[in-house]
Amino acid sequence: MTSDEPVAQPARLQGLAPLVAPHSRLLVLGSFPGATSLARQQYYAHPQNAFWRILQAIWPSSPYEIRVESYQNRIDWMLDKGIGLWDVYASCERSGSLDSAIQQPQANDLAGLVQRCPQLQVIAHNGGESFKHARLTRSLGLPVYRLPSTSPANASWSFERKLAVWREVIGLAGLV
């Protein structure tokens, strides 16, 4: 059976700008922002994503307003802790939010970003899709680690299990 109807192609999506400071010691690399994050223009904006909760659990004495208030407060707090954030993909085609739906990805300039962060000690990939680029990130001359994805799609890992691995890698960067 054939159809004269054109097949809809996924839209080309643009990622978010990097969040880094010259004193960033750990660069966390995701794959590409989910639909909620793109709509809000905020990293890890989906309420079920554990990224911000994990960081808050590692530094539980953070002031309440930093923990729950504005996205800008969370960014400033994260950067102050020495953590930078970006994605391996600058753009891609994708329907929905799953990494498995990413098509035609274009990589970000990770080497250029590393040059902007002279105190960088460690690169950590948040999840498997991001970690597919570990060969490239290892070529940048820094230790590279795979973190369990904070995505709600990674339901096989408990929050506590994710937290333990994240705490260990953040410790390797000398941040706790």
Q: pLDDT per residue over 11-48, tens digit each?
A: 799 999 999 999 999 999 999 999 999 999 999 999 99
pTM of the predicted structure, to 2 decimals: 0.90
Enter the tokens of residue 149: 């994805």
pLDDT confidence tier of residue 80, bands split at 50, 70 and 90: very high
The answer, yes or no, to whether residue 2 has pLDDT greater than 60, is no
Q: How far apart are CA 101 and CA 51, in angstroms?
A: 21
pLDDT of residue 99: 81
Contact partners, residue 27, CB within 8 Å, separation at least 6: 20, 83, 84, 85, 86, 113, 114, 117, 120, 122, 123, 124
pLDDT of residue 71: 92
pLDDT confidence tier of residue 6, bands split at 50, 70 and 90: low
pLDDT of residue 11: 77
The answer, yes or no, to whether residue 4 has pLDDT greater than 70, is no
Q: How far apart are CA 101 and CA 81, in angstroms?
A: 33
What's at 176, amino acid-wise? V
Q: Which residue segments constitute the domains of the chain, with CATH numbers given? A: 12-172 (3.40.470.10)
Query: First CA to last CA across the chain, in angstroms?
Result: 61
Our separate counts of H helices and E strands in the chain read 8, 7
pLDDT of residue 157: 95
Span of 66-80, 98-112, 140-154, 157-171 with lowest mean pLDDT: 66-80
